[in-house]
Structure 1
Amino acid sequence: MTALSATHRSRTIVYFICWLSLIADGYDLYVYGTTLPAIIGQEPFNATAAQAGAVGSLALVGMLIGSLVVGILTDKLGRRRILIGSVLLFSTFMLACAFAPTWELFAAARFIACFGVGGLLPTAVALANEFALPERKSLTLGIVLTGPALGTVAASLSSMLLIENYSFRPVYALGCFGFLAAALAWKFLPESPAYLIAAGRPETAREISRDYGLFLPPAAPQALGEAARRSPTRQLLGTGLRARTLRIWLVTLLSMLTMFGVSTWLPQIMRNAGYGMGSSVSFLLAYSLGAMLGTVIASLVGQRIGVKPLVVFGFSTAAAALLLMTSNPRTALMMLLVALTGFGGMGTQNQINDYIAQFYPGGIRATGLGWALAVGRLGAIAGPTYGAMIIATGTGVPGAAIAFAIPAVLGAALMLTLPRVAPGAPATPNPPTRPEQSATLPTSK
């Protein structure tokens, strides 16, 4: 099927809803790091660094569980409902964090909020990838994936403006702006045609594809036979994909260990180095801006040369910038190095998400993303505790920089072993060889 309707709905609304949802996701996820200087040793919780690290890791356990659950359910229940539910969940419990009277209730609310956060990213990325023009997939995903970094910028700014005069509570309350994204998604977000095909609803998939000028997925469920009935998770670990899937999981784990360790503890590390509370948070702002601008630039380049080289370059940039921090440079240069670390940390993870979205075929894309992010959360869980251990050694910025450069170097080396994804088009590893698997969706009678 090559001819679609001459006029169709704009895909921009899909990208915008995914982007806005990811801004809320980034805000709610990274706000914890921006508020740690106002929580550790401060009223009303008087938390220790060890307690703060434990809650940071516990919240990321919630993300792990959320990623696992959504990785299993998204390709079964539909991406639209999962996206709306995830945003509603974490927005509600951000409000609960804002009003929590005790440290224990704050920790519980943080855990549940991060469960919702863990479910959003794979769903939003899968939707944006599916609706993107083939020749602009990397660029489209790159722009959509500036959402988490922009959310981190917003969290940093709100902390800088509000904490000193109003404490950390209003910073968390602002996280409920995700309700706006959920409302827009309820009103305007279409369901994924790939999901509808897998769910046995080809007519609805055809209608949405016509409305948005999409090409339908290449095969109908009845044509796929036994392969269509296989669990998406089993397909990820099938003979043809197992080794690559496991390497993708490990790359994601190393990326998230670096990213969450640095982003959680960066303000506190800088405060320990002698910077004031506002100045220490400004380093996280520089980190986020580096991630956001780096993601857009990398996506433009990746559209031409593919995503894999950008992932390797990002890991390498983070490692180099971190190692240069060990010399304790002047503030301006330190800010620049932190921004480069942001590109190599959060920006690299965005490129990994793009790589995964293009590596797996549509029917298992959200599941592939969900499982990679779920395994990656093990690194994210370890990151805050790892950072707390480094801080406890008293080695300051140099010790922390070396500690977080190590997983970045390992991530670059491992990414080199993965296949390259052609720019501008989704890869379908190990394409089907059985004749019946190349059947196209039957036209309506």
Structure 2
Amino acid sequence: MDNIQNTAVEGVATLRRGEISHSKSLLVVLLCWVAIFAEGYDVGVLGAILPSLSTDSVWHLSPLQLGAMGSYTVFGMLVGGIVIGTLSDLYGRKPMFLACLSLFAVCTAVTAWSPTPTWFAASRFVAGLGLGGIIPLAAALTIEYSPAAKKNVNYGLMYSGYSLGLFAAALVGRWLLPDYGWRPVVLIGALPVLCVPVMAALLPESLDFLVGRRQDDRAKRLAARLGIAVPAPSAREAGVGWRAVLGEIFSPKNAFATACFWIALFMGLLLVYGLAQWLPQIMRKSGYDLGDSLLFLAVFSFTSAIGGIVLGRWADRFGVRRTVALSYLLGAIGIALLAFKGSILLNYIVVAVAGFGTVSASLILTGYLADYLRPFVRAAGTGWALSFSRIGALSGPLMGGYIASLNVGPEWNFYIFAIVAASAALATALIPNKPRA
């Protein structure tokens, strides 16, 4: 009887989310887009300023130290994803979302001021705590407030902010670095804090959270404002604690899927962070000047933004798993082709294929995971998976630094990253069908 009741309630919840107007769902997408744009800019800015940091006459950083610069933030994100993702399912997604963005912005301003590498490292770590919570919370809110037929395309649209943030960092770096150095480029990344008051006024709290925590009055007021119905909570979703969250994520029915998602996301973020940080430096070693090297990062980022939207549409039509797996495979081919230096136009095309296939696939895969999980563990489950994948993100910049320290040809970066992309494709292809409730 309980199973039948739970299934019925979740069916109503699905209907309820499907009835939300597309314009209201797009408001949530837009607000989440701003935060994800900030995160993308932060990742891209490290790649943009790396050539400048590598020649800094005061800090004298080695290749391994340069690689570590991108890892301080990722380590903070690893911790933040677990802590914030879990706390948000216990205390609310909206307040945690706003707190994460505010913490990140303040620490970014501190990074721009940093007088020593130690200050830089500390501020990057604390900024990472905020960034680690942004992705799972944005994923949970976007999936919850998207009509069923628009989930993947809305998620791709929201997550295009990440790639456009990368793109903006490359362009800002190309504009400011030659005359003003790296600090103003970093400081611009703190500007999204100006959007926090607007988000506080317009971003809705999760109805799934309010219903699950028995905050009936708040849920009714929010539902009335959005023009949708409030479902009755299931016994499983009411008063859920961290043991129930972890029990659901690692339950026998979800264990293999969890492993596949975690491995694919690990490989995907290793690619995103490794290439975003080292691509300009690798292209400089290949003989291109600073401006052209930063344009490679811009092309990589811009095509991945387009790819997120296109792949979202394809995923809604042809299935997420198939679309993401083939995209990772396409990205592996594009990365491998970068090892063979051709004309600059041809290399721009190959970089575009690599960005379309790798970053875009990782974005859509995160949305697939959020939709795969039960609503009451959606933010926490996504947060735990992304925190594990942060180890891959942590490894990407360090891997690039290690390869640079070996004094081997730049093509070895592309060979290794291509293998990583192929591994992500395999792990995605092995994800089982979503279990019935």
**Residue 237 of structure 1: how far off its partner (Å):** 0.7
Question: Equivalent of 2:218, from 204, 229, 235?
Answer: 204
Contact 2:213 2:238 in 1 (8 A): no
Question: Equivalent of 2:379, from 366, 369, 374?
Answer: 366
- Give the aligned partner of residue 22 of structure 1: 36
Contact 2:22 2:146 in 1 (8 A): no
RMSD, aligned CA: 2.2
Structure 1 position 79 matched with structure 2 position 90: no
Question: Equivalent of 1:180, from 194, 206, 214?
Answer: 194
Aligned in 2, Cα 1:322/1:224: closer, same or farther, shift over 3 Å? Answer: closer
Contact 1:325 1:397 in 2 (8 A): no
- Give the aligned partner of residue 167 of structure 2: 153
Aligned in 2, Cα 1:103/1:230: closer, same or farther, shift over 3 Å? Answer: closer
Quote the Cα distance in structure 2 between the aligned partners of 1:308 and 1:281.
32
Report SS of the residue matched to 2:24.
Answer: coil
Identity %: 30
**Residue 211 of structure 1: how far off its partner (Å):** 2.1
For 1:266, give the aligned amino acid.
L
**Residue 43 of structure 1: how far off its partner (Å):** 3.6
**Residue 6 of structure 1: how far off its partner (Å):** 11
Structure 1 position 260 matched with structure 2 position 290: no
Report SS of the residue matched to 1:142.
Answer: helix
- Give the aligned partner of residue 435 of structure 1: none
For 1:15, give the aligned amino acid.
V
For 1:324, give the aligned amino acid.
L
Contact 2:84 2:96 in 1 (8 A): yes
Higher mean displacement: 198-207 or 4-13: 4-13
Quote the Cα distance in structure 1 between the aligned partners of 2:104 and 2:167.
18
Higher mean displacement: 373-382 or 303-312: 303-312
- Give the aligned partner of residue 400 of structure 1: 413
Structure 1 position 127 matched with structure 2 position 141: yes
Structure 1 position 107 matched with structure 2 position 121: yes
Quote the Cα distance in structure 2 between the aligned partners of 1:3 and 1:268.
49
- Deviations, residues 99-143 of structure 1 (Å, cap 9, x unaligned): 111111111111111221111011011101111111111111110
Structure 1 position 297 matched with structure 2 position 310: yes
- Deviations, residues 332-367 of structure 1 (Å, cap 9, x unaligned): 111111111112221111011121121112111111
Aligned in 2, Cα 1:323/1:8: closer, same or farther, shift over 3 Å? Answer: closer
Aligned in 2, Cα 1:301/1:206: closer, same or farther, shift over 3 Å? Answer: same
Structure 1 position 353 matched with structure 2 position 366: yes
**Residue 3 of structure 1: how far off its partner (Å):** 8.6
Quote the Cα distance in structure 2 between the aligned partners of 1:110 and 1:123.
20
Structure 1 position 192 matched with structure 2 position 221: no
Quote the Cα distance in structure 2 between the aligned partners of 1:234 and 1:150.
36
Contact 2:208 2:376 in 1 (8 A): yes
Contact 1:160 1:278 in 2 (8 A): yes
Contact 1:200 1:221 in 2 (8 A): no
Question: Equivalent of 2:250, from 218, 237, 248?
Answer: 237
Question: Normalization by structure 2: what TM-score?
Answer: 0.92
| Number of equivalences | 423
Structure 1 position 10 matched with structure 2 position 24: yes
Quote the Cα distance in structure 2 between the aligned partners of 1:256 and 1:125.
16
For 1:211, give the aligned amino acid.
R
| Unmatched segments (≥5 aa) in structure 2 | 1-11
- Deviations, residues 234-272 of structure 1 (Å, cap 9, x unaligned): 210112212211221111111111221111100111111
Quote the Cα distance in structure 2 between the aligned partners of 1:345 and 1:192.
30
- Deviations, residues 163-192 of structure 1 (Å, cap 9, x unaligned): 000000101110111112322111111100
Quote the Cα distance in structure 1 between the aligned partners of 2:21 and 2:402.
58
- Give the aligned partner of residue 227 of structure 2: 213
Structure 1 position 42 matched with structure 2 position 56: yes
Aligned in 2, Cα 1:8/1:257: closer, same or farther, shift over 3 Å? Answer: closer
Higher helix share: 2
Quote the Cα distance in structure 1 between the aligned partners of 2:316 and 2:78.
30
Question: Normalization by structure 1: what TM-score?
Answer: 0.90
